[in-house]
Structure 1
């Protein structure tokens, strides 16, 4: 990531690289998780409850991203970072909650490790989950440690 990007350029990157991406990823991950749970629910390593957990994550993330898109990012794009300290604090707290949700995801999926002999759907689900986790962690880091820090400077 280029450290010389303006706040507006950084926000545009976050929107296209992370917000849009999460909106693509989650519906498919939920669909795959439901299928794995339906077919393999009796398997001792089946991530039962994963689809519901992903659905909860999707709802939390969608609400969070809308607050950023409709309230926080417009303030930052207008150079009003200091006035945005309260919304930034709320976003940081929500980022911590997303981190807790990722921890639960790791618990449900044996740290996103498919069992020996897992079917293609299960392996595809876990590849997608690993990518989603990495994207979400990068997304949170970019906002917390780059965008918010520069906005409050």
Structure 2
């Protein structure tokens, strides 16, 4: 696989971007989220009586994991093969669905920020709590970059205007 030009994502081919997304985001989300969920579960169990405890974070993360897994499977099994084969007419509707789901992911991240007070730790936060917020910050950054690359580069110009039947 060729090295990606990360300074200007638009200089990379769709195949390069898809390979990058799969190896650097899809695989990472699948391995990272279970560890974050376990940390959240520990914090909620041990610190449930703390006023700053992010009660409900484990459940939110589990829901996000399920939604993200479903989303990534649709990309891997349906959308990415279409884009690799340059079947943009057929990819138009799946792209629209993926972009709507990206908006839902962004809303979930907003909920996450509300639950965690924008990842501001209490002064007496234990090492596990600190580790949780550090891992959440990494996850949020990675998910935002994942969404940005797809929305602004990979999907850009690949939707079909149904009224005139042209790629825009």
Name the TM-score class by shorter chain: over 0.9
Structure 2 residue 25 is matched with structure 1 residue 8: no
Match of 2:127 in 1: 120
Q: Does 1:97 align with 2:110?
A: no
For residue 83 of structure 1, report the CA deviation from its aligned partner.
2.1
Which fold has the larger relative contact order, with Cα–Cα distance below 8 Å and residues 6 or more apart in sequence?
1
Partner of 1:44: 51
Shift of 1:150: 4.3
Instruction: Identify the residue that residue 148 of structure 1 maps to in structure 2.
Output: 155
Structure 2 gaps, min length 5: 1-5, 160-167
Output the TM-score relative to the length of structure 1.
Answer: 0.97
Backbone CA RMSD of aligned residues:
0.9
Question: What TM-score comes out, normalization by structure 2 length?
Answer: 0.89
Number of residue pairs aligned between Structure 1 and Structure 2 = 153
Structure with max Cα Rg:
2
Question: For the residues of structure 2 that align with 1:135 and 1:67, how far apart are their CA atoms?
Answer: 19
Which residue in 1 is equivalent to 2:139? 132
Counterpart secondary structure, 2:26: helix
- Name segments (4+ residues, structure 1) moved above 6 Å: none
The residue aligned with 1:62 is 69
Structure with the bigger percentage of helix = 1
Cα distance between partner residues in 2 of 1:21 and 1:150: 27
